Amino acid sequence: MNAHMEALPIIRADTSHVQAIVDLEGRSFSPTDRFSRKTWRHLLGPANHNGTSITLVAVDVGKVVGSINVLIRSNSRNVRIYSLAVDPAMRGRGLGGLLMRALCAHVPKRYEAFTLEVRSDNKSARSLYERLGFTVDRLLPGYYPDGADGTRYRVTWKQLSSTSPQTSDKRTIPSQRQDT
């Protein structure tokens, strides 16, 4: 990872970031894999305020170039990674891993693991998750709306945080608003 990636601000998103995240997903995902504006308004508004959703964004020169969203249920020991998007122009530079690791500063330690689903044919995303310590938990035939197969991955909080530059160097991730 280069110094530029390490220096990118990663901040807690709020409703002011809805359009920037919708635009990022438009650049990053096929139409069937994107969340609607309504979904993002909910995740960054009510779900954020009641503590069931956390969204972080990476900002480069005022533009959101990466985002990650997790869903948290108080009656579960797992946190579900609901979305991870990296601008195509920023891929291959470590930003996805940086966003994943940044979660460790925001998710309470009482949760034991992170889970996520990914298209089985998304080799680059699967490779990232495996480098971060995720292991295959379950195969999901026909999981996606277009019939594509999915794979569920899992990693313990401890495994993910132990690979984290943020936890090893005590870097804090600001939660103030960043204009986009």
Q: CA 51, CA 130: separation in Å to the nearest integer?
A: 28
Q: How far apart are CA 60 and CA 87, in angstroms?
A: 11
Q: What is the pLDDT along the chain (180 residues), one digit of tens a residue?
A: 566 666 799 999 999 999 999 999 999 998 988 999 999 999 999 999 999 999 999 999 999 999 999 999 989 999 999 999 999 999 999 999 999 989 888 998 889 999 999 999 999 999 999 999 999 999 999 999 999 999 999 999 888 888 744 333 333 333 333 333
The alpha carbon of residue 120 and the mean position of all alpha carbons in its chain are separated, in whole angstroms, by 18
Q: What is the value of pTM for the model shown?
A: 0.86
For the domain spanning 3-168, the CATH number is 3.40.630.30
Residue spans of the domains in the chain: they are 3-168
CB 150 within 8 A of CB 120: yes
Q: Residue 46's beta-bridge partner residues? A: none
